[in-house]
Amino acid sequence: MNTEQAYNILGNVLCAYFDPDEPFDKLEMILEIGDGATAETVWKHFKGQKTCPSLSVDIPLQAAIDLHSAAFFLRDNLLETSNEQIWGLVFTLYPDSSFNIEYTYEKSDWLKGGE
């Protein structure tokens, strides 16, 4: 896997949560990356409204596996290339297929657990 492939996986999985025919201003995935697990939260932003996907949306198992692999790749690659440890990221996708990615350098409450 390379960085471009990892970003492509993030975008594809994010789109899988929403109806492709519904308009949006941006789609957002907040991804927390632990030592052996990830947790994602996804949102659709449209005309000032922020909504989560329908509870009936279930992404395919392979997409979930690919998402975790991409997250671990990005975490490990950033550590190897820049010596920076990330604990998560925010991936934002726009209707023109452009995207923005912001890395999180502090552990979330979910990752801290009982600390």
Q: How many independent structural domains does the chain possess?
A: 1
CATH of the domain at 68: 3.30.500.20
Average pLDDT of the residues in 19-42: 91
Residue bearing the bigger pLDDT, 34 or 83: 83
Asked if residue 115 is part of any domain, the answer here is no
Asked if residue 90 is part of any domain, the answer here is yes
Asked if residue 37 is part of any domain, the answer here is yes
State which residues form the domain around 86.
Answer: 3-108
pLDDT at 106: 84
Q: Is the pLDDT of residue 5 over 80?
A: yes
> In terms of C-beta distances under 8 Å and separation of at least 24 residues, what long-range contacts does 77-83 make, across chains too?
77/3, 77/6, 78/103
pTM equals 0.88
Average pLDDT of the residues in 87-92: 96
Asked if residue 114 is part of any domain, the answer here is no
Q: Is the pLDDT of residue 49 over 90?
A: yes
Asked if residue 94 is part of any domain, the answer here is yes
Residue 56, number of CB atoms within 10 A of its CB: 5
Asked if residue 43 is part of any domain, the answer here is yes
